Structure 1
Amino acid sequence: MYNRPHWPLSLYYDGDCPLCAREIQLLSRHADEHRLLLIDISRADFQADSVGIDRTTLSNRLHARFADGQWLTGLDATLWSWRAAGLGRWATPLTWRALRPLFELGYWLFCRLRPHLAWLPHPAAGKRCQQGQCNADQRPDPSSDARL
């Protein structure tokens, strides 16, 4: 695929998804902004038309784009985002041909179940909810949390 990636990699993720937000929190702690840009598609100010893919498509499968315009989806977006954050060794199994079909099946199942996992605790819940009221737009920037 890519031997010489054109950084940065822009990763389009759903910040309202509790599991996704946990992964982004981990990536943001390690990522350098010159290699990985984290873009939350659930934010009210996100303009899907600016990337040429509608919000529904972006939310159904993980998307990432290198600086040269090359798009990656699904497991490839995961693999390269982890590489961009310097955590590629943890994602190396995604490159193993013998296991790739199993990982693809697991990812497909996750994508189907993800909308039903909103009940899981969100890592930013304490910052999003105050005095009994929650507001998704109060979600903190994951890169600012990671640097604390």
Structure 2
Amino acid sequence: MNKPALMLYYDGNCGICRAQMSRLRVRDRAGCLAFSDIAAPDFSLQEVGVSMEALGKEIHARTADGRLLVGIDSLVAIYTALGYGWWLAPLRWRMLRPLFAAMYRALARNRYRLSACADGVCNMVGKS
């Protein structure tokens, strides 16, 4: 098997993050993604080369050639690798990119408040 195109660094303590990584695993039939849970006891910061604070703020991804992508750049690379890049085409539009980046950062910053998880089952807060 070839080296994955992207290594994703995600927060396994976050229900939204875990659910999204699960969806990505299902879509990744070609094995182009690898996953690293930054909340796992055996996770090593040395493999990424950034602080835990930075990793906790936004998703990070490392390309096969070693480039580190952050936030929406990671999302674009992930979905492009899976063949769904057109889903995120607006993230590439120069006029809208700052708005989408701010929206993503707000979601990432508030992800624990937006999900309440128990036993791996996550429900949106406020949902009955």
Q: Normalized against structure 2, the TM-score is what?
A: 0.79
The answer as to whether partners of 1:61 and 1:111 remain within 8 angstroms in 2 is yes
Residues 57 and 108 of structure 2 are in contact (CA less than 8 Å); yes or no, is this contact kept in structure 1? Answer: yes
Which of structure 1's runs of 4+ aligned residues deviate more than 6 A?
Answer: none
Larger relative strand fraction: 2
Number of aligned residue pairs: 120
Report if the CA contact (8 A) 1:48-1:54 is conserved: yes
- Segments of 5+ residues of structure 1 without an aligned counterpart are 1-5, 127-148
Q: Distance in 1 between matches of 2:22 and 2:119?
A: 8
> 1:120 maps to what in 2?
116
Q: Secondary structure at the match of 1:79?
A: helix
For normalisation by structure 1, the TM-score amounts to 0.70
Q: Secondary structure at the match of 1:120?
A: strand
Q: Which amino acid aligns with 2:86?
A: R
Deviations 1:8-44 (A, max 9, x none): 2111011211111121111110114642111111111
Sequence identity, in percent? 36
Counterpart for residue 65 of structure 1: 62
Structure with more relative contact order (C-alpha pairs < 8 Å, separation 6 or more): 1
Distance in 2 between residues matched to 1:97 and 1:72, nearest whole Å: 18
Unaligned runs of 5+ in 2: 123-128
The one-letter code sitting in structure 2 at the alignment partner of 1:72 is L
Preserved CA contact (<8 Å) 1:40 1:46: yes
Query: RMSD of the TM alignment (CA)?
Result: 2.4
